[in-house]
A and B are shown apart, each in its own frame.
Chain A
Amino acid sequence: MYKIIKKEKMAHDSIVLNEIEATQIAKKAKPGQFVILRVDETGERIPLTMANVDKEKGTITIIYMIVGKSTRSFSMLEVGDGYQDCVGPLGEPTKIKKKGNVVCVGGGTGTAVLHPITKGMYEAGNRVITILGARNKDYLIMEKEMRKVSDEVRICTDDGSKGRHGLVTEELKEILETQKIDEVVAIGPVPMMKFVSLLTKEFDVPTIVSLNPIMIDGTGMCGGCRVTIGGKTKFACVEGPEFDGHQVDYGSLIRRLDAYKHEEEHSNECMFAEGLR
């Protein structure tokens, strides 16, 4: 069992943070890598990025949004409970280098995934501007943590309750128009990553995105996580999850993420019918 030693809820309880005991994973984890968790014997294997790692304590932190049955089951675990399985670190770590001026763009829970990367970029000596986007100010996460690892943080909300009233791409466009940016890292909902990539392409700024296709094993065995990058098939769990944003076939990714929509809804309904066991 992988014990939960800390649990926090945020954004109207729609997002949950767990700090989990996983010594061996913590020892090896690098920014950008993820784990696959299974709640119990009948559970699905669910990939989540490590938002933080404490090598001394031997813990990893995950931050996830409750979107369906599995994440809802996760959210019912309390401190002292544990996940039956946790495997990792999986995926290739982010290639963190000193580039100069870097913009990190986070949307929704993507911010959690972005945090260790931003930290890495900052510690590598880059000047980091972070743009965080959310529906409204209550759904904004990790602002404080991000401020610690950025030279500048800009906020965008859909309803204008905090920061800019508008999309992260508008904020990014202003920056690209006025400053020389060497790299952009964008992590969030697929449409956000798509539009960020379209924009940075115009400005010819290299862009990294982190893809979240449906996965099972996470070791390159099933091919379920395949994505199309520059016309070639790649397995996101071993060759990713980060890719050159300008090469990604977003349409294909969006379609594949919906492959089990019907079954997922059914699973959710069953869970509610059973009274959230």
Chain B
Amino acid sequence: MINVKDLTKKERRQIPRQEMTERHPKQRAKYFDEVTLGYSLKEAQFEAARCIQCKDPTCIKGCPVSINIPGFLEMIVEDNLNDAIDKVWEATALPAVCGRVCPQEIQCEEVCIVGLKKGTEPVGIGNLEMFIADWARANNVKNSAEIPPSTGKKVAVVGSGPAGIAVAGDLAKKGHEVTIFEAFHKAGGVLLYGIPEFRLAKNVVAYEIEQLESLGVKIEYNSVVGRTIDVDELLEEMDYDAVFIGVGAGLPNFLGIPGEDLNGVFSANEYLTRANLMRAFEFPKYDTPIIPGKNVAVLGAGNVAMDSARTALRLGAKSVKIVYRRTRVESPSRHIELHHAEQEGVEFEFLTSPLEFIGSANGKLTGINCEKMKLGEPDEDGRRRPVPIKDSQFFIDCDLAIISIGTTANPLLTNVTDGLELNEWGNIKADPKTGKTTKNAVWAGGDITLGQATVILAMGTGRDAAKSIDEYLRRI
């Protein structure tokens, strides 16, 4: 058998990208198990060996949290997995999650030197990050970073999404006492209620939460800050020294076209929350129902739309169409998600815009009136603006429509918290380097400051805030 360690540089360069084994598209589209099956150790070592250990590794610059990528890859090649995971943990709290859901192709892998050469694929950094994190989980390897004695300082973290998880983990490791206040009955934020099981198994998320708890982080569930308890109460009555707000984006956008209140028209948030958090796909074992559409239309073409479409397939839909005003090129979704959706049988109606939902006399959705579009002049952000084509109306037959056109900042907390300045979209204004808000002793990060972003960016803001909060706590 070939030992990867013994390969010469030249031989290493000839290794093709190791594709990760995936379940068969037609099979997997019937159930919720994870699509990707992970690398074996050998596959991982071959893939890691493709990295040429650049002197000036561009990949690190492409990663929002600057993971030492060549460092941990070489440790994998050398079979030194314990050190490899420690190296990753130095920079990220959620490797098992980011390895699965990061848009690598526009971050670390986009700028990988190997991939920039014509005809070669970049190193599978995301896949390897998933590998090493899954290995650590399977072997119950714990973060070896030692926790210093308690500082006696208390921090409240609002929201348990990636931003909250990152801030809580980092501050606990510095010896501060951290409590997360979470509105839902479970922790994880979008990782739990948004991103479906088949893309991110919920036991992966649960494991990350256990890790946090093993660091001494407490989680108060069913606590809606702004209703159950206020930010000022946390600071003044409950003696928290600092508060971090990571409440996510929240409020789903609707199209504002007629018929949106028909039965069968969902926001993606509702549809995915029913399916993921409330496990409606196991109805009636779980009590929460969902409408299992036969013909489904998903409006929008981002990650959330892909997740909704693929969920609908798994719930038994006969046909699922993605309806999008622009074309494949403009789709904001990750390439791999669009590809997976297509493989599984999702159809695409590009250059199509919905005009009106049509329903039966008893209020059930029966279809959508649409019109065809063409791409016109570029708008401010350089994307070509879709314009309607005259007399091009047509009807899409469907009994379920899922609106997936983004979210805006949820005003629940910000409306009742004095001293927090917001921007014009209702997002909390925070220093981009430190996450400090305009309110004394309050920091914020994640989607509530960035708008709709990504897991790794949310986590990055959490880490930055943790640093700033730590400095503050040592000062006061």
Contact = CB atoms under 8 A, between A and B. Distances in A.
Interface of A: 24-25, 28, 38, 42-45, 69-70, 73, 84-90, 216-224, 226-228, 233, 238, 249, 251-252, 255-256, 258-260, 263-264, 266-267, 270
B58 interface: no
Contacts, number: 123
B273 A221 contact: yes
Contact of B222 (A42, A85, A222): A85
Nearest to A254: B363
Interface string B153-196: 00000000000000000000000000000011100000000000
Summarize A's interface: helix, strand, loop or mixed: mixed
Contact of A85 (B185, B229, B260, B264): B185
Given A88-B228, A263-B289, A267-B289, A255 B183 contact: no
B270 interface: yes
Contacts of B262: 255
B354 to A, nearest CB: 16
Interface residues of B, number: 42
Nearest to A36: B222
Interface string B31-60: 000000000000000000000000000000
Interface string B285-328: 11111110000000000000000000000000000000000000
B278 interface: yes
B17 interface: no
Interface string B217-230: 00001111001110
A233 B269 contact: no
Contacts of A228: 261
B278 A45 contact: yes
B333 interface: no
A216 B227 contact: no
Nearest to A266: B284
Contact of B183 (A219, A251, A258): A219
The winner among B183, B222, B267 for most chain A CB atoms within 10 A is: B222
Nearest to B256: A233
B232 to A, nearest CB: 13
A218 B185 CA distance: 12
Nearest to B362: A255
A47 B287 CA distance: 14
Nearest to A70: B287
B267 A224 contact: yes
Interface string B416-448: 000000000000000000000000000000000
Given A42-B286, A219-B224, A223-B254, A233 B261 contact: yes
Nearest to A89: B227
Contacts of A259: 263-264, 291
Nearest to A233: B254
Nearest to A257: B263
A46 B289 CA distance: 13
A220 B410 contact: yes
B363 A255 contact: yes
Nearest to A255: B363
A217 B263 contact: no
Contact of A217 (B221, B273, B291): B273
A86 B222 contact: yes
Given A216-B270, A219-B410, A222-B252, 11 more contacts: A85-B185, A216-B278, A226-B261, A227-B261, A228-B261, A233-B260, A238-B412, A263-B291, A264-B289, A266-B284, A270-B284
Contacts of A42: 279, 285-287
B228 A28 contact: yes
Contacts of A88: 224, 227-228
A28 B227 contact: yes
The winner among A45, A73, A87 for most chain B CB atoms within 10 A is: A87
A217 B410 CA distance: 13
The winner among A223, A227, A266 for most chain B CB atoms within 10 A is: A223
Contacts of A69: 287
Given A219-B410, A233-B260, A267-B289, A87 B252 contact: no
Contact of A44 (B221, B287, B410): B287
Contacts of A85: 185, 221-222
A233 B260 CA distance: 9
A258 to B, nearest CB: 7
Contact of B273 (A222, A249, A255): A222
Given A88-B227, A233-B261, A260-B291, A216 B183 contact: no
